[in-house]
Amino acid sequence: MQNIFMILQLFGGLALFLYGMDSMSRAIQLGAGKRLRSLLARCTANPVAGLVTGAAVTAVVQSSSAVTVMVIAFLAAGLLQLRQAVPVVFGANIGTTVTAQLLAFQVEQGRYLLLFGGVLLCFACKGQKGRCAGEALFGFGLLFEGITVMSSALQPLTESPQLWQWLVRVQANPALGLLAGLGMTLTVQSSSATIAMLQTVAAQPGPDGVHGLLSLAGAIPVLLGDNIGTTITAVLASIGQGKDAKRVAAAHAIFNLSGAAVCCGLLGPFAALVQRLSPAGPECAVIARQIANAHTLFNVCCALVWLPLTGRMVRLVTRLLPDRAA
């Protein structure tokens, strides 16, 4: 009975996180959607501008999926060319890492202030912008409430021998971690949610009270699987659209798959670099920040590698998905 309650509590926390993320994203899009769409359509004159615009819009909207869908819609409407759209998708991968960075600050104690402030704004403001700001603030508070509930549900699992055995297998076999991350993101349809769960699990103190349940080297493959799983949204959005929409989805998949392959091959050096760039301290206290930094560093490095190769990426996806001969 206790195990059933723990599972329900875990999924309840996940539901709060997903609802908070969706509420915040919808409120921001409703309040500033027209301006963001205009910015996305105008500020893509060159690959660097497209990358920065994609990252900025995604950081604001808090949804790389929403930005990817917008890009595909603009392609279908003829507002963007394929060469303009590809860097925006690269940037969206960077922008989506902001969520993990915010969650790593561990400001759960302020979640009630965020929730109360959000409700207060909704009731006090009569204009749409004020109400949207309140809904976004309330959704942001729900993110942290969901994290707290999931963390509370996971605490009894730290004493489970079966969990420890599974985590040992994940740390010994990066491919298993990659598949776990991929499976979770395909199921939940939100890389931010699965990365938040990863941060929560890894930060649970082990028997010694110093090390977390999952080391950084064990968490990175799961993180890479999460990144690969996000590509399914672009694939689904491109169904029924033109060739260029499918090419953008293919470029998104190649971006993540190629980066994950290289990162898995250099797992040790990459983990060491992340640890060097992250604050020092007991592993269970800093692992959430290390995971967030690994997420950001991975996507920034992939973007810096692929951005000068935008033309080659366009030619590659065009060759993979050629126009039908008349």
Q: Give residue-wise pLDDT tens across range 79-109.
A: 778 888 899 999 989 998 888 888 777 666 6
Q: What's the confidence (pLDDT) of residue 109?
A: 64
23 in a domain, yes or no?
yes
Report the distance separating Cα 287 and Cα 319, nearest Å.
42
Nearest CA to 75 out of 56, 52, 50 is that of 50
Q: What's the confidence (pLDDT) of residue 305?
A: 94
Q: If residue 257 lies in a helix (H) or strand (E), which one and from where to where?
A: helix 243-265
Q: What's the confidence (pLDDT) of residue 271?
A: 93
* Per-residue pLDDT at 225 exceeds 70: yes
Report the distance separating Cα 55 and Cα 60, nearest Å.
9
Distance separating the N- and C-terminal Cα atoms of the chain: 64
* Per-residue pLDDT at 326 exceeds 50: no
Q: What's the confidence (pLDDT) of residue 173?
A: 86
Report the distance separating Cα 137 and Cα 222, nearest Å.
29
Nearest CA to 95 out of 123, 71, 128 is that of 71
325 in a domain, yes or no?
no
* Per-residue pLDDT at 36 exceeds 70: no
The residue written with tokens 């301290």 in the block is 281
Q: What is the number of domains present in the chain?
A: 1
247 in a domain, yes or no?
yes
Window from 236-245, 246-255, 269-278, 286-295 with minimum mean pLDDT: 236-245
* Per-residue pLDDT at 190 exceeds 70: yes
* 88 vs 35, more confident: 88
Q: What's the confidence (pLDDT) of residue 291?
A: 93
* 17 vs 218, more confident: 218
Report the distance separating Cα 79 and Cα 180, nearest Å.
38
Give pLDDT tens digits for 133-183: 888 788 878 877 877 777 677 666 656 666 667 777 877 888 888 898 888
* Per-residue pLDDT at 21 exceeds 90: no
The residue written with tokens 């402030």 in the block is 117
200 in a domain, yes or no?
yes
Cα three-residue angle 181-103-188, rounded to 5 degrees: 35
Report the distance separating Cα 23 and Cα 246, nearest Å.
28
86 in a domain, yes or no?
yes
The dihedral of CA 185, 190, 194, 199: what is its sign? positive
User: Domain of 202?
Assistant: 2-320
8 in a domain, yes or no?
yes
Give pLDDT tens digits for 253-266: 999 999 999 999 99
Nearest CA to 303 out of 160, 121, 97, 130 is that of 97
326 in a domain, yes or no?
no
Give pLDDT tens digits for 280-289: 888 877 898 9
Nearest CA to 32 out of 81, 65, 66 is that of 66
Q: Radius of gyration (Cα) for the chain, nearest Å? A: 20
Nearest CA to 278 out of 296, 262, 251 is that of 296
